[in-house]
Chain A
Amino acid sequence: MAELAYRDAVAAAIAQEMERDENVVILGEDIAEAGGVFKTTVGLLDKFGAKRVRNTPIAEQAILGAAMGAAMTGLRPIAEIMFSDFLAVCWDIVVNEIAKARYLTDGQFTMPLVIRTANGGGSRFGSQHSQSVENWAMAVPGLKVVAPSTPADVKGLLAAAIRDPDPVIFFEQKSLYATKGEVPDGELVDELGKAKVLRKGDDVTIVALAAMVPRAMAAAKRLQKEDGVSATVVDVRSLVPLDTQTIFKEVQHTGRLVTVEENPRLCGWGAEISSIVAEELFYDLDGPIIRITSPHCPIPSADDLEDAYLPNAERIVETIRREVD
């Protein structure tokens, strides 16, 4: 076991897979000499050389177009889109080409590529560099969508994403890059589509993703201490494929579901999970499903407003106190 920062776990996963498979290459803006604007690719250029670690122009369409061509012709590219907000620039390639290639060609072409991107708010980047857009990706058939909350999950899930035969959008949460955690030594490969139960409780099941996971854990501890409410916390980790069985099992146990998500309220992933649970487990529910989300407005630039915009432990505690009786 070694302690790694979330950002270092990204580089560790990429290095692990580049060592294993010479077809794995990485491209993006400032990822080579600079080691990435978030320092997630430090050391890769020295280790694997300029042929496999490529800087690109500031042109997201070119990055993903090149990655797509590389994937179709036998490589396993990892493309970095510096901020997830910029996915909008290349959404045509993602949605109409990358997500559909396997289907349109009847499997003659597969798309074994990973789009890594820094996602989410709380880091003072303003409304065009702070959005949490995992729900956009979740809405597109043909994409897998992963968003880890710990360094160990970053390493294991990124390795699994690289080995996956289909396109995976890998959302790294900006506000978590500096957080540290234990990462097992040696080769680490996790499984896509498995949620993790981080805490077992009896009164309410909190389902969270990425930066909302540590906040949900903090809220659960406070609820236990201050209110005697015992909460289960599930880290979804992967929106597509979605581990509904784990969610069902935990919701059946407590009879209550609260989802905590960073993306704006309308059509957030919490709405999808709420809907599935309402359909499948209606007669196990002991009260309404509650969604805690960001409000449906652009993320504000002012520090105070940005903090107020994002769900935090305080809001989770208060909502559960008010709604779960």
Chain B
Amino acid sequence: MDVIMPQLGETVAEGTVTVWHKKVGDTVKADELLFEVGTDKVETEIPALVTGIITEILVAEGETVDVGVKLAVIDDGKEAAPPTEAATKDIIMPQLGETVADGTVTIWHKKAGDEVAADELLFEVGTDKVETEIPSPIAGTLKEILVAEGETVDVGVTLAVLALKDGATAPKAAAAAPAAAPKATPAPKKSKPATAKQSHAAPISPVVARLLAEHSLSISDITGTGRDGRVKRKDVLAHIGGAGSAVGGDTEVVPFTYTRKLTAEHMVRSKATSPHVLQAVEVDFLGVEIARRSMKDSWKAEHGFSLTYLPFIANAVCEAIADFPRINASVVGEALHIHKKINLAIAVDLGEEGLVVPVIRDANELSVADLATAINDVAAKARDGKLSGDDFTGATYTLSNNGSTGTFITAPIISQPQVAILSTDGVSKKPVVIEGDNGDEIVIRPVGVLAQSFDHRAIDGAYSGVFLGRVRQILEETDWAAELS
């Protein structure tokens, strides 16, 4: 182990050895005072870094040398690392995205003993998000494969050992991750002759590179409209949308809005995450209808908006959740987290802008009238674009109100990480058989379907079904006129 002149401050370039506390042949322990250094600024005591015997002192007391110069040698029983050890390199499972913790080796393109060049395709990794080709970070011979095809290991686990070519030094230990980012999987290099179009080597922007990779396109497929024929993002989008024609055609290309993109991503993820099961009940809304009608005009006059079915359903849902707490929950890992608060999310349609789902907090503490006002408020704020980030967080259960469009039934997609979502569909007059004084009778009633999608990881059909029955019972049997007055 070499003892060197330490850097004793950002601007200090040299130091003077003022005192040696040990001489050649002495034994020194790690952290024991070894020597002192003076600079133009300070006098500092320097301890030994290792335990061993001092075999050599190269700079005498009073001498001034540059930072980094060897001052002495301590024999700590370890020879300098043999070159063979330094000349191997561990290939590790790379981090293929912020949230990805492990990966599966899908294909080894080399076997033990094969030579591999720097940047040559070495293996492929699959994660839940992407399949990525990993090139070798350095040239060498594949000495050993430690993780076989099909095995899944954590990020950072050594997959193979590469013996470096003679004279090559191992790059710093952590440098095994591929240069390639997961989104921009480099296509295997094909030795295509450069076309005239590419000879300008107009640069490919990151977004163009990503779009080409996502749609398995080649830059030469697309006509660039930028300077020097550069392919711009809109050229790729036009190519994708217009099936080859950059302009015109029968297709109008409407790029997704930000909200649309978020919705798309979330819906795909939710369907992939939760096994959805749909159940529905038919509800007789006579009691609700009587209450609504009895105060139709006075409510509108007082509040400025109409009283819909939704606050009644929201109220009944909150009441039913009290008996069925597992509906109001999230799946976290392999556990169900049951929420004590009921924060109801209400889906609000914004037309072309997309869909937003603001939250009404502690909805179980609100009366029907309060819920009506709260729902109207968040919907109005959503349409005016006045919702803040906080208005979207913490939802525990979601209502998707499709009734106004007159649908019969809708199979909603769960808003993650919740475990259920209810669609309220159109209420219309239907013949209903009831048991009257003279036996069965057919009467006309306002009937609507409530359809719930639930996450079958979290709960089962019986639980969900009885919950829906309870919601129906509350809606049909409560004296809503009394509740409202």
B184 at the interface (CB under 8 A from A): yes
Name the distance in Å between B388's Cβ and chain A's nearest Cβ. 9
Interface residues in B165-181 (C-beta closer than 8 Å to A): 181
A249 at the interface (CB under 8 A from B): yes
Interface residues in B207-224 (C-beta closer than 8 Å to A): 207-210
B251 at the interface (CB under 8 A from A): no
Distance A202 CA – B246 CA, assembled complex (angstroms):
17
Q: Are A282 and B230 in contact (CB under 8 A)?
A: no
B205 at the interface (CB under 8 A from A): yes
Distance A245 CA – B205 CA, assembled complex (angstroms):
22
Q: Interface code B68-88, partner A: CB below 8 Å = 1, 0 otherwise?
A: 000000000000000000000
A190 at the interface (CB under 8 A from B): no
Selected from A249, A283, A325, the residue in CB contact (under 8 A) with B210 is A283
Q: Interface code B296-330, partner A: CB below 8 Å = 1, 0 otherwise?
A: 00000000000000000000000000000000000
Distance A282 CA – B206 CA, assembled complex (angstroms):
6
Q: Are A285 and B207 in contact (CB under 8 A)?
A: yes
Interface residues in B191-212 (C-beta closer than 8 Å to A): 205-210
Distance A253 CA – B184 CA, assembled complex (angstroms):
20
Q: Interface code B182-194, partner A: CB below 8 Å = 1, 0 otherwise?
A: 0110000000000
Interface residues in B364-378 (C-beta closer than 8 Å to A): none
Name the distance in Å between A205's Cβ and chain B's nearest Cβ. 13
Q: Are A255 and B207 in contact (CB under 8 A)?
A: yes
Across chains A and B, which 9 residue pairs bring their CB atoms closest together, nearest first? A325-B227, A286-B233, A283-B210, A286-B205, A255-B233, A325-B226, A286-B207, A283-B206, A285-B206
Distance A325 CA – B203 CA, assembled complex (angstroms):
12
Task: Report chain B residues within 8 Å CB of A283.
Answer: 181, 183-184, 206-207, 209-210
B232 at the interface (CB under 8 A from A): yes
Distance A29 CA – B227 CA, assembled complex (angstroms):
55
Name the distance in Å between A286's Cβ and chain B's nearest Cβ. 4
**Size band of the A side of the interface?**
10 to 19
Name the distance in Å between A111's Cβ and chain B's nearest Cβ. 25
Task: Report chain A residues within 8 Å CB of B206.
Answer: 282-286
Name the distance in Å between A227's Cβ and chain B's nearest Cβ. 13
A287 at the interface (CB under 8 A from B): yes
Given contacts A255-B233, A325-B226, A325-B227, contact A284 B258 (CB under 8 A): no
A252 at the interface (CB under 8 A from B): yes
Name the distance in Å between B434's Cβ and chain A's nearest Cβ. 54
Q: Interface code A26-43, partner B: CB below 8 Å = 1, 0 otherwise?
A: 000000000000000000
Q: Which residue of B lies closest to A325 (CB)?
A: B227
**Interface residues of B: mostly helix, strand, loop or mixed?**
helix
Given contacts A283-B183, A283-B207, contact A252 B258 (CB under 8 A): yes
Distance A284 CA – B232 CA, assembled complex (angstroms):
12
A-B contact count (CB 8 A): 32
Interface residues in A262-290 (C-beta closer than 8 Å to B): 282-287
Q: Are A286 and B232 in contact (CB under 8 A)?
A: yes
Name the distance in Å between B122's Cβ and chain A's nearest Cβ. 24
Task: Report chain A residues within 8 Å CB of B227.
Answer: 325
Distance A282 CA – B205 CA, assembled complex (angstroms):
9
Task: Report chain A residues within 8 Å CB of B209.
Answer: 283
Distance A255 CA – B389 CA, assembled complex (angstroms):
24
**Size band of the B side of the interface?**
10 to 19
Interface residues in B249-267 (C-beta closer than 8 Å to A): 258
Selected from B183, B184, B205, the residue in CB contact (under 8 A) with A287 is B205
Task: Report chain B residues within 8 Å CB of A285.
Answer: 205-207
Q: Are A249 and B258 in contact (CB under 8 A)?
A: yes
16 contacts between A and B (CB under 8 A): A249-B258, A253-B258, A255-B207, A282-B206, A283-B181, A283-B183, A283-B206, A283-B209, A284-B206, A284-B210, A285-B206, A286-B207, A286-B208, A286-B232, A287-B205, A325-B226
Distance A129 CA – B205 CA, assembled complex (angstroms):
42
Name the distance in Å between A89's Cβ and chain B's nearest Cβ. 27
Q: Are A325 and B230 in contact (CB under 8 A)?
A: yes
Name the distance in Å between B396's Cβ and chain A's nearest Cβ. 24
Q: Which of A253, A255, A283, A325 has the most CB of B within 10 A?
A: A283
Interface residues in B318-356 (C-beta closer than 8 Å to A): none
Given contacts A249-B258, A252-B258, contact A284 B207 (CB under 8 A): yes
Q: Which residue of A lies closest to B205 (CB)?
A: A286
Distance A274 CA – B127 CA, assembled complex (angstroms):
31
Distance A287 CA – B227 CA, assembled complex (angstroms):
12
Task: Report chain A residues within 8 Å CB of B258.
Answer: 249, 252-253
Task: Report chain B residues within 8 Å CB of A286.
Answer: 205-208, 232-233
Distance A285 CA – B226 CA, assembled complex (angstroms):
15
Distance A249 CA – B353 CA, assembled complex (angstroms):
14
Task: Report chain B residues within 8 Å CB of A282.
Answer: 206
Name the distance in Å between A231's Cβ and chain B's nearest Cβ. 15
Q: Which residue of B lies closest to A278 (CB)?
A: B206
Distance A282 CA – B208 CA, assembled complex (angstroms):
11
Task: Report chain B residues within 8 Å CB of A245.
Answer: 389
Q: Interface code A244-265, partner B: CB below 8 Å = 1, 0 otherwise?
A: 0100010011010000000000
Task: Report chain B residues within 8 Å CB of A325.
Answer: 226-227, 230, 232
Q: Which residue of A lies closest to B211 (CB)?
A: A283
Distance A284 CA – B208 CA, assembled complex (angstroms):
8
Q: Which residue of A lies closest to B227 (CB)?
A: A325
Task: Report chain B residues within 8 Å CB of A252.
Answer: 258
Name the distance in Å between A199's Cβ and chain B's nearest Cβ. 16
